[in-house]
Amino acid sequence: MSARIPLLAAGFGPEPALQDDDGGAWVSYDALRRLAQEWADRLNGPRGLAFLYICNDVANVAALLGALAAGHAVALFDPNLPAESRARLEACYLPDWLIEPGAQQVVRGPLNPEPASLDPALALLLSTSGSTGSPKLVRLTLAAVEANAAGIADVLAIRPDDVAAGHLPLHYSYGLSVLTSHLCRGARVRLTERGLMQREFWPSLRDAGVTHFPGVPFHYHMLAKLGFARLGLGSLRTMTQAGGALDVAMRRQAHAFMSERGGAFYVLYGQTEAAPRMATLQHDDFPLAEGSVGTALPGCRFEILEPDENNSGEVVFHGPNVMLGYAEARPDLALGDTLKGRLQTGDIGWLDDAGRLYLTGRAKRFGKVYGLRVNLDELEREASAITPAAVIQAGEGVRVFIASLGDEASDAAQSQRLLDHLLSRFTIPRVGYAFRSIEAIPHTERGKIDYAALENLG
């Protein structure tokens, strides 16, 4: 008897669902169900943990859906993680199944012959810092992922005739949400591994009739340089932006472009811990609150914890899409729901009278590098293993401060060695790093790195 394939809209069969860079015809919903069922049969066995190093193609989506249909908990990772990071993750979590990039090989995990207990509700695990291979994972239920997909589909008015540009990595919660929010409505996703500057990227989106383009701030800055209108996406009716704060001037440009063509530009706010979407600023609300990230998803709400005299405080989110909690090793996968639908985001903000959220800062040491969430402390620890260093967010990237060796040539060589080391450990792009040599890393009276002083250095 076939298992139900999760995340796919009921009532859709011959309609197109996915297409990837292979150049073939669209894969229908019926065909996708068959491919997923083949994976479910292939992964038949006791419920366990599957590691999927996921690429943006049909085979990998089928592997994900099939593993979920087989009842496994699935952890999604960047297929470009360095071997050392992968080995550390696998040693930490002892997966029962390994699904390699390209979905060509499945290996029963020799590290864990006796499957450990898993929480019955656990379905999906996403990294809090996908580019660094951090072992800290977000534990999500299938119900949370489905609730978030449906909520996104509602606020973005996704229809069966929509076609999303599936260019964001599927191990990244924003990219995964683009996929799930379209599949739950019987819409299409044009999956691609290509980047914006590759020659085939834009023609492939035009040929697919893309109606929805999602992007992080980096993408919008690139689009502004290329020229929004020059991209030639005649079917485009929706643009969304998440993955970090986009400056208001760039928001205005995107909003104006979509207004001129009768479409919509949405500012989104979310975290992986919320599967991932929490708020949406509607296109029509933008002129009223262009600095806001909008209102909570349907059935969800925001709370400001211990507001100050300006009604600003830590943002707390309540909703059915909140994670069960974190995991840092295999035993944590047996834990139940530790958050009960309440997420302290670590962001600082305030709410206006219409319930729209404005963000003013972060309470935690996480950053966004070209839209990817990065644990700055983890980067700093790795850099400090080579030389005294400190790391802060700097625009779209990170700035690494290193203690000077005394002369420019030595400092330049040290920066290069550190860059080479970080590139070997993490998948953050080379352009995401900037280095600066200073006399000494500043510290507070309590011996902690003085990040405020570093911010002032620029």
Q: Which residues have a Cβ under 8 Å from the Cβ of 300 and sit 6 or more positions away?
A: 151, 278, 317, 318, 319, 320, 321
pLDDT at 23: 87
What pLDDT, on the 0 to 100 scale, is given for residue 105?
66
Taking only the tens place, the pLDDT of each residue in 375-422 is: 788 888 899 989 999 999 988 899 999 999 999 999 999 999 999 999
CA distance linking residue 310 with residue 308, whole number of Å = 5
Q: Are residues 105 and 226 in the same domain?
A: yes
Average pLDDT over residues 232-237: 95
> Is residue 141 in some structural domain?
yes
- The percentage of residues in the chain with a pLDDT greater than 90, rounded to a whole number, is 77
Same domain, 345 and 377: no
Q: What is the CATH number of the domain that holds 424?
A: 3.30.300.30
Q: Can you tell me the mean pLDDT for 8-22?
A: 96
Task: Give the pLDDT confidence score for residue 110 in this predicted structure.
Answer: 46
Average pLDDT on 65-83 reads 95
pLDDT, position 450: 87
For residues 330-350, give the mean pLDDT: 95
Provide the pairing of β-strand 357-362 with 342-351: antiparallel
Is residue 2 over pLDDT 50?
no
pLDDT of amino acid 245? 83
| pLDDT bucket at 109, cuts 50 / 70 / 90 | low
Same-domain pairing of 348 and 378:
no
pLDDT tier, 60 (very low <50, low <70, confident <90, very high otherwise): very high
Give the residue-averaged pLDDT of 251-259.
97
Residue 3 has pLDDT above 60, yes or no: no
**25: domain range?**
16-362
Residue 327 is assigned to a structural domain of this protein: yes
- Same domain assignment for residues 239 and 330: yes
E strand or H helix at 342, and its extent?
Answer: strand 342-351
State phi, psi for 168 to the nearest 5 degrees: -75, 140
Residues linked to residue 357 through DSSP beta bridges, in sequence order: 294, 351
Q: What is the pLDDT of residue 1?
A: 34
210-214, 366-370, 398-402, 424-428: lowest mean pLDDT where? 366-370
Q: Do 149 and 96 sit in the same domain of this protein?
A: yes
Section 70-93 average pLDDT: 94
| Long-range pairs of 228-234 with CB within 8 A, sequence gap ≥ 24 | 228/253, 228/254, 228/257, 229/257, 231/202, 232/202, 232/206, 233/202, 233/205, 233/206, 234/206
Domain-located, residue 1: no
Position of tokens 């998440």?
242
Question: CATH code at 37?
Answer: 3.40.50.12780
Percent of the chain with pLDDT over 70: 94
With CA atoms as reference, report the closest residue to 271 among 247, 300, 228: 300
Same domain, 375 and 353: no
- The confidence band for 132, taking pLDDT boundaries of 50, 70 and 90, is low
Q: Are residues 243 and 147 in the same domain?
A: yes
- In this structure, is residue 2 part of a structural domain? no
Measured CA to CA, the distance from residue 209 to residue 236 in angstroms comes to 8
Q: Would you say residue 230 lies in a domain? A: yes
Q: Based on the domain organization, do 214 and 83 belong to the same domain?
A: yes
Residue 9 falls within a domain, yes or no? no
Last-in-domain residue among 311, 331, 362:
362
End position of a domain, from candidates 362, 390, 413: 362
| Same domain? 82 vs 184 | yes
Average pLDDT of the chain? 92
DSSP 291: T
Query: What was the pLDDT predicted at 389?
Result: 94
Half-sphere exposure of 67 (CA within 13 A, CB side): 29
pLDDT tens per residue, range 87-105: 999 999 999 999 986 656 6
Conformational region of residue 70, where left means phi above 0, alpha means psi within -120 to 50, and beta covers everything else? alpha
Domain assignment present for 8: no
Angle between helices 142-155 and 173-183 (to 10 degrees): 70
Number of separate domains in the chain: 2
pLDDT over 90 (residue 448): no
Tally of CB atoms within 10 A around 338: 11
Q: Find where tokens 């989106």 sit.
A: 205
Q: Looking at residue 102, what is its pLDDT? A: 62
CA-nearest of 391, 434, 437, 431 to 412 is: 437
pLDDT at 445: 60
Considering only CA atoms, which of 237, 316, 240, 252 is closest in space to residue 282? 240
User: Does residue 107 sit in the same domain as residue 159?
Assistant: yes
Is residue 11 exposed (0-12), middle (13-18) or buried (19+ Cβ within 10 Å)? exposed
Helices (H) and strands (E) in the chain, counts: 11, 25
Give the angle 246-250-254 at the CA atoms, nearest 5°.
Answer: 110
- Which residues contact residue 458 at a Cβ distance below 8 angstroms, ignoring those fewer than 6 apart? none
Q: Of 344, 362, 380, which residue sits at a domain end? A: 362
Bridge partners of 281, per DSSP, are: 267
Give the closest residue to 254 by CA, choosing from 266, 243, 244: 266
pTM for this model (two decimals):
0.85
**Inter-residue contact 169 to 155 (CB < 8 Å):** no
Q: Are residues 336 and 378 in the same domain?
A: no
- Alpha-carbon distance of 111 to 106, in angstroms, equals 14
CA 325 to CA 335: how far, in whole Å? 8
Q: Tell me, yes or no, whether 415 and 325 share the same domain.
A: no
- Average pLDDT of the residues in 58-79: 96
Q: Is residue 194 helix, strand or coil?
A: coil
Largest CA distance in the chain: 71
